[in-house]
């Protein structure tokens, strides 16, 4: 077991680069898990000046990282130098991220949805905006340097080759040496060795483009997002957004709007199955829908005899005739008058028969 300054136990190697090793470690004093970055001086000591450059970078990284106090930047806890096997090596102690970097995260298909990617990118962009507010340029923005915690928070990591934005900044690289990842480096850096905060904007836009292509096919990127990324990726720094904060403003609004649209489409109720409309039947004579059949009365009427043969059919015919008429119809009015006359005649005939019967009865008694 390796022990640094009697405090940090190095338990397992997490990663190794050209300049340093990152270890999973245990802080005995505060009893917590940490990440320890140790300079791999031997791998750079091809020439004495290489080792000196590495030491200067580490000293600067410790100074720069100490300025960072942002929830979207990996936090520095401690720094120092330790002796091991007659060699003095500097180290940095940082918070240990329980999670994975953006490249690892996007390998899982379930992580390729736009809402999750949008949250990660805007988190990391907030870290970059904060760094620029402290006059610090990152210089190595790439998916491997965006860490995603278990709670979904994204943090910008590895300010190991960051520089402070000063007019007379000291260059701590050898002549003609490109520091950083070329696939994400801005044209002015690759061609002229010149790096500014606008170069960080370019690098971050490259990362955004790659990440969003996991949610959209390359040719299906929404036009609003594509226009914003195209501006941030302009080869001419003067045509880009002039700060990370300006890029953040437009990018965040556009990507969140697209996320809401995607969520709305997912949550929208499915349409009802299509039905074939049924054309209503109409009467050839009146052009009106046919009347529904009359509900049965519940009384079984005889179908034979005088009622079934004469009276019931006559009443049914009368009912059908009346239902086919309206009150303003002349036939309806005539039918009403004729019915009233028939009723009057019948009533008069009954009165006449009754009077005749009374007279005959009286005469018989006399």
Find the catalytic residue in 78, 123, 140, 200.
140
DSSP for 147-169 reads EEETTS-EEE---TT-EE--TTP
| 155 is annotated as contributing to ligand binding | no
Burial of 114 (0-12, 13-18, 19+ CB in 10 A): buried
Nearest to 227 by CA among 199, 266, 185, 255: 255
Residue 299 backbone phi and psi in degrees, to 5: -110, 125
151 catalytic, yes or no? no
Pairwise CA distance, residues 354 & 7, whole Å:
133
Instruction: Give the distance, in angstroms, between the CA of residue 82 and the centroid of all CA atoms in the same chain.
Output: 48
Q: Are 101 and 22 in contact (CB under 8 A)?
A: no
Residue 348 backbone phi and psi in degrees, to 5: -65, -40
DSSP E strand stretches across 49-141: 76-84, 87-95, 99-101, 136-137
Active site residues: 140
Where is the binding site for ATP, in residues? 37
């Amino acid at each position: 077991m390796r022990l640094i300054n009697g405090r940090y136990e190095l338990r397992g190697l997490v990663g190794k680069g050209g300049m340093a090793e990152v270890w999973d470690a245990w802080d005995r004093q505060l009893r917590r898990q940490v990440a320890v970055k140790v300079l791999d001086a031997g791998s750079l000591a091809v020439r004495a000046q290489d080792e000196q450059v590495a030491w200067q970078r580490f000293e600067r990284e410790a100074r720069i990282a100490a300025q960072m106090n942002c929830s979207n930047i990996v936090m520095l806890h401690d720094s120092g130098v330790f002796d091991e096997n007659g060699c003095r090596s500097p180290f940095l102690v940082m918070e240990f991220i329980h999670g994975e970097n953006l490249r690892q995260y996007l390998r899982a298909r379930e992580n390729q949805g736009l809402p999750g990617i949008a949250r990660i990118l805007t988190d990391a962009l907030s870290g970059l905006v904060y760094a620029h507010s402290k006059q610090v340029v990152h210089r190595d923005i790439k998916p491997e340097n965006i860490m995603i915690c278990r709670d979904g928070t994204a943090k910008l990591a590895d300010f190991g080759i960051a520089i402070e934005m000063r007019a007379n900044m000291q260059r701590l690289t050898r002549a003609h040496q490109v520091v950083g990842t070329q696939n994400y480096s801005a044209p002015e850096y690759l061609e002229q060795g010149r790096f500014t905060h606008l170069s960080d904007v370019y690098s971050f836009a490259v990362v955004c483009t790659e990440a969003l292509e996991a949610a959209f096919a390359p040719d299906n990127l929404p036009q609003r997002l594509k226009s914003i990324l195209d501006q941030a990726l302009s080869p001419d720094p003067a045509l880009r957004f002039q700060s990370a904060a300006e890029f953040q403003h437009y990018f965040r609004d556009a990507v969140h709007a697209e996320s809401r649209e995607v969520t709305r489409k997912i949550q929208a109720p499915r349409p009802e199955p299509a039905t074939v409309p049924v054309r209503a039947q109409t009467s050839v004579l009146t052009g009106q829908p046919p009347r529904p059949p009359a509900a049965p009365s519940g009384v079984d009427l005889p179908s034979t005899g005088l009622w079934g043969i004469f009276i019931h059919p006559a009443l049914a015919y009368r009912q059908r005739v009346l239902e086919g008429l309206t009150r303003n119809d002349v036939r309806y009015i005539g039918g009403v008058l004729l019915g009233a006359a028939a009723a009057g005649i019948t009533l008069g005939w009954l009165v006449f028969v009754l009077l005749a019967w009374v007279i005959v009865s009286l005469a018989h008694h006399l």
